[in-house]
Amino acid sequence: MQDPIYLKPETLDRALDYLTEYPQATLWAGGTDLIVHLEHKKLKVSGIIDLTSIPELRFIEDCGDKVRIGALTTIYEIQTSPVIKKEFAFLAQAALVLASWQIRTLATIGGNIVTAAPSAETGCPLILLDGNIIVQSKNGERKIPTNQFFKGPGKCDLAPGEIVKEIELEKLPHGYQTIYQKERLRRSMDIALANAACVLNLDGDKCQEVRIGLGAVAPVPMRAVKTEAVLNGQVMSDELVEKAAQTAASECKPITDIRATADYRRDLIYALVKRQLTALWKAGAE
Amino acid sequence: MKIPISLTVNGDKYDVMVSPLSKLVDVLRDDLLITGPKKGCAEGECGACTVIMDGKPVSSCLVLAPQADGKEITTIEGLEREDGTLDPIQEEFMNSAAIQCGYCSPGMMIMSKALLMVNPHPTEEEVRDALSGNLCRCTGYQQIVDAVMAAAEKERGGE
């Protein structure tokens, strides 16, 4: 087998030049998914454009009303960033339970979203936040709202010639609480059987605004709009939480696969949504 | 076409020609004959190939060899101190009988080292979380956790 070309640009401009010159080349970020596909012979590469030496793509910046995250920021950096922990606690929680520490050191947030697994750890938090995925090509920059980026299992809104540059996220208003949880069989490394994220703003016991994201139960991380409608404007109660959890279980669209049956995944969503709403409600009431 | 890389392993500098798709674990084991890191699953599941790269733990089966160019790497062979004494982690793995077949031990000890580097006083829960990406098929987990707690205690005493 002929060895592929290996290119290691140090600027985004150079990377885009290489991509124009070698349009068939594979963009390589953390590589923790790609290298496994190589090992299993599910991926053939004619060339690699290794993005990990581009410093301008690796940063977390607090810009007042928003936070910018470079696409090559590692999951470990997300997990440990004081800015992320303060502004988007649930994104840091999601990073913390992604794969293992050895993988979080390598894996990047840009890679996690481009891989577009329905169970992607960062997916649910991102679709619940107002913000954009910013991609760059030789023709300029394009902004895609975070909730429109995922298109299907392994598919995202990234055209040939484009590279994900950064994620810009609006901060949540004061008083908004967040939570992310996943259900899995092993403490580490296991991908989620189901995961969920929730953003909740309470006024006393009244639900002013809720956002609920469900993962691994639809082709893309999905927003549970019917469940949100059950809760918005209502006074929190055990009965309301129960109704919301049942609505979430019925509106998600899971499949049966090697890891779990569709019915079991619905049960997990019921449990996750109930647990999250209860946790945020009790925490908010304190 | 092979490409040249330079990397530092356990303080020694190496210049090697590597294939772009070769993996760090294979370069360490086959080219440099540093066989502490074990190639267990070759897909990042088992943690047996864990090494410390630029101060952070990585699965060396998930790193392309060219990505290790210019990096500083520590394997189990590099834990021993310059005067020949063992790292407290190595001593406590022996004292706690945390080694059965030994296959996972290099990865377990390197991961423990990576933990104690950033968190010298971990709780048992934090040790279990840090080691959750390392599999021991002899299932000697309790002794391993005991060993890491004892090593942390020992280092604390030495401060």
CATH code at position B153:
1.10.150.120
- Kindly report the number of other CB atoms within 10 A of residue A175's CB atom: 11
> Considering the domain A5-53 in this protein, what is its CATH number?
3.30.43.10
Q: B133 vs A39: CB contact, 8 Å cut-off?
A: no
Q: In chain A, whose CA is at the least distance from the CA of B50? A: A102
B155 or A69, higher pLDDT: A69
- Identify the pLDDT of residue A147: 96
Question: Sorting pLDDT into bands at 50, 70 and 90, what band is B123?
Answer: very high
Q: How confident is the model at residue A1 (pLDDT cuts 50, 70, 90)?
A: low
In chain A, ranges of CATH 3.30.465.10 domains: 55-170
| Interface contact A240, partner B, CB < 8 A | no
Q: Report whether B63 contacts A106 (CB < 8 A).
A: yes
Q: Using pLDDT thresholds of 50, 70 and 90, give the confidence band for residue A285.
A: low
Which pLDDT band holds residue A84 (cuts at 50, 70, 90)?
very high
Q: Average pLDDT of chain B?
A: 95
The answer to whether residue A190 scores a pLDDT higher than 90 is no
pLDDT in tens, B32-49: 999 999 999 999 999 999
The pLDDT value recorded for residue A31 is: 95
Out of 3.30.2180.10, 1.20.1070.10, 3.40.50.10860, 3.30.390.50, which CATH number does the structure's domain A177-285 have?
3.30.390.50
Confidence of residue A273 (pLDDT cuts 50, 70, 90): very high
pTM (two decimals): 0.96
For domain A55-170, give its CATH number from 2.40.37.10, 1.20.1560.10, 3.30.413.10, 3.30.465.10: 3.30.465.10
Judge residue A186's burial from the number of C-beta atoms within 10 Å of its C-beta, 0-12 exposed, 13-18 middle, 19 or more buried: exposed
Chosen from B17, B23, B53, B59 to mutate, greatest number of chain A CBs within 10 A: B59
Instruction: Report chain B's terminal Cα–Cα distance, integer Å.
Output: 50
Chain A residues near residue B20 by CB distance under 8 angstroms? 3-6, 48
Residues of chain A with CATH 3.30.390.50: 177-285
The mean per-residue pLDDT over the stretch A267-276 comes to: 97
**pLDDT of A188 higher than 90:** no
Looking at residue B61, which CATH number applies to its domain?
3.10.20.30
Q: CB-based contact (8 Å) between B114 and chain A?
A: yes
Half-sphere exposure of A43 (CA within 13 A, CB side): 18
The partner residue sitting opposite B133, judged by closest CB among A8, A35, A100, is A100
| Pair (B65, B128) in one structural domain | no
Same domain, B66 and B99: no
Q: Is A39 on the interface with B (CB under 8 A)?
A: yes
In a domain, B83, yes or no: no
d(CA A135, CA A57): 11
Together in a domain, B94 and B67: no
Q: Look at chain B and report how many structural domains it folds into.
A: 2
Contact B42 A31 (CB under 8 A): no
Range of the domain at B125: 88-157
| Res. B26: pLDDT tops 60 | yes
The pLDDT of residue B105 is: 98
The closest of A116, A81, A120 to A97, measured between CA atoms, is A120
The pair phi, psi for residue B137, each rounded to 5°, is -80, -10
Q: What was the pLDDT predicted at A66?
A: 98
- CB distance B36 to B77 below 8 Å: yes
Q: Specify the pLDDT at position B91.
A: 97
Residue B63, in any domain of the structure? yes
Q: Is the pLDDT of residue B158 over 60?
A: no
What integer pLDDT is reported at residue A181 of this predicted model?
A: 96
How many Cβ atoms from other residues are within 10 Å of residue A20's Cβ? 11
- B74 and B92 in a single domain? The answer is no
Give the closest of B42, B44, B47 to A32, CB-based.
B44
What was the pLDDT predicted at A53?
95
* Residue at a domain's end among B53, B78, B103: B78
Q: Is residue B110 part of a domain?
A: yes
Task: Check whether residue B69 and residue B114 sit in a common domain.
Answer: no
Q: Decide if B94 is inside a domain.
A: yes
A190 touches chain B (CB under 8 A): no
Structural domain includes residue B52: yes
pLDDT at A85 over 80: yes
Same domain, B39 and B69: yes
Each residue of B76-92: pLDDT tens digit? 999 998 898 999 999 99
Give span(s): CATH 3.30.43.10, chain A: 5-53
Structure tokens at B60: 């060396």
Question: Which of the 8 DSSP states describes residue B85?
Answer: P
* Helix/strand/coil for B158: coil
Looking at the predicted structure, is the pLDDT value of residue B159 above 60?
Answer: no
Chain B residues with CB-CB distance to A188 below 8 A: 129, 132-133
Judge whether B11 and B2 are in contact, CB under 8 Å.
Answer: no
CB-based contact B59 A106, cutoff 8 Å? yes
* Mean pLDDT computed over A91-118: 96
Q: What is the mean pLDDT of the segment spanning A66-91?
A: 98
For the cut 90, the answer to whether the pLDDT of residue B139 exceeds it is no
3-class DSSP string for chain A:
CCCCEEECCCCHHHHHHHHHHCCCCEEECCCCCHHHHHHCCCCCCCEEEEHHHCHHHCCEEECCCEEEEECCCEHHHHHHCHHHHHHCHHHHHHHHCCCCHHHHCCCEHHHHHHHCCCCCCCHHHHHHCCEEEEEEECCEEEEEEHHHCEEECCEECCCCCCEEEEEEEECCCCCCEEEEEEECCCCCCCCCCEEEEEEEEEECCEEEEEEEEEECCCCCCEECHHHHHHHCCCECCHHHHHHHHHHHHHHCCCCCCCCCCHHHHHHHHHHHHHHHHHHHHHHHHC
**ipTM greater than cut 0.90:** yes
Both B119 and B59 in one domain: the answer is no
Q: How far is CA B49 from CA A3, A94, A99, A100, B35, in A?
A: 24, 25, 15, 13, 10
How far from each other are the two terminal CA atoms of chain A, in whole angstroms? 64
At A187, the pLDDT band (50, 70, 90 cuts) reads confident
Q: Kindly state whether residues B119 and B147 are assigned to the same domain.
A: yes
Give the model confidence (pLDDT) of A118-150 as tens digits: 999 999 999 999 999 999 999 999 999 999 999
